[in-house]
Chains A and B, each alone.
Chain A
């Protein structure tokens, strides 16, 4: 059973606030990903990491930043939230060598007012 956690599950915050979305996995996976998902739209990759101290931007431009200091932890930060950041954010991880089987967390639904 895949164990990947995201907190908070729901967040409503005002414009200009700094926020950090947490993602942790207990599977020891090297690769981790952040996706942005809007209703009725496909998931878009915004960040990924192939290991500690490795981070790359994804296909969709995002004002968020990520860090990977520990294998199990891949937080996403927005320095100054805006209404355009309102979306669902999904974290995923995969094991090296089985690169395509990504395990997803439950997601964080962010609303910026």
Chain B
């Protein structure tokens, strides 16, 4: 069965600094990969997804993620964070042909002035 690991439970970043959130997956083949964001009291919103092709994918709100097959990773990045980026971030995977998502435990992002 596939699994998703987000090794950082909580990250604190200064406003304007760069950000990288880590995600590693375990699966026999390359799954479909996603990053979702959850603001307090809200549902999850899709930031970006990787199905195939270019390993660097662009998403909404200035986020990007890079798929590295050799490392089984799909890390999320942003060059300059804004206070409004404070939220919980979830990495998720879905095997090809299966709509069911498997989520990581999430990384809580705190932004300090």
Determine if B74 is an interface residue (Cβ-Cβ < 8 Å): no
**Neighbouring B residues of A103 by C-beta, 8 Å:** 46
Chain B binder among A11-19, A37-45, A67-75, A79-87: A37-45
**Neighbouring B residues of A40 by C-beta, 8 Å:** 9, 105-106
B49 contacts A42, C-beta separation under 8 Å: no
B29 to nearest A CB, angstroms?
15
**Can you name the residue of chain B whose Cβ is closest to the Cβ of A109?**
B41
**A42 partner, pick from B9, B41, B94, B106, beta carbons under 8 A:** B106
B99 contacts A99, C-beta separation under 8 Å: yes
A29 to nearest B CB, angstroms?
12
A100 contacts B41, C-beta separation under 8 Å: no
Known: A40-B105, A40-B106, A42-B106. A90 touches B44 (CB 8 A): yes
B101 contacts A45, C-beta separation under 8 Å: yes
Known: A42-B4, A42-B90. A105 touches B105 (CB 8 A): no
A4 contacts B43, C-beta separation under 8 Å: yes
A106 contacts B32, C-beta separation under 8 Å: no
Q: Mark A54-97, 1 if CB is under 8 A from B, else 0.
A: 00001100000000000000000000000000000010101000
**B103 partner, pick from A42, A48, A58, beta carbons under 8 A:** A42
A45 contacts B43, C-beta separation under 8 Å: no
Query: What are 26 inter-chain pairs, A to B, with CB distance below 8 A?
Result: A4-B43, A40-B106, A42-B90, A42-B104, A42-B106, A43-B90, A45-B101, A58-B100, A90-B43, A92-B44, A100-B32, A100-B49, A100-B101, A101-B46, A101-B49, A102-B44, A102-B46, A102-B101, A103-B46, A104-B36, A104-B43, A104-B44, A106-B41, A106-B43, A107-B42, A107-B43
B residues lining the A interface (CB < 8 Å): 4, 9, 32, 34, 36, 41-46, 49, 51, 90, 94, 99-106
A residues lining the B interface (CB < 8 Å): 4, 6, 9, 31, 40-45, 48, 58-59, 90, 92, 94, 99-107
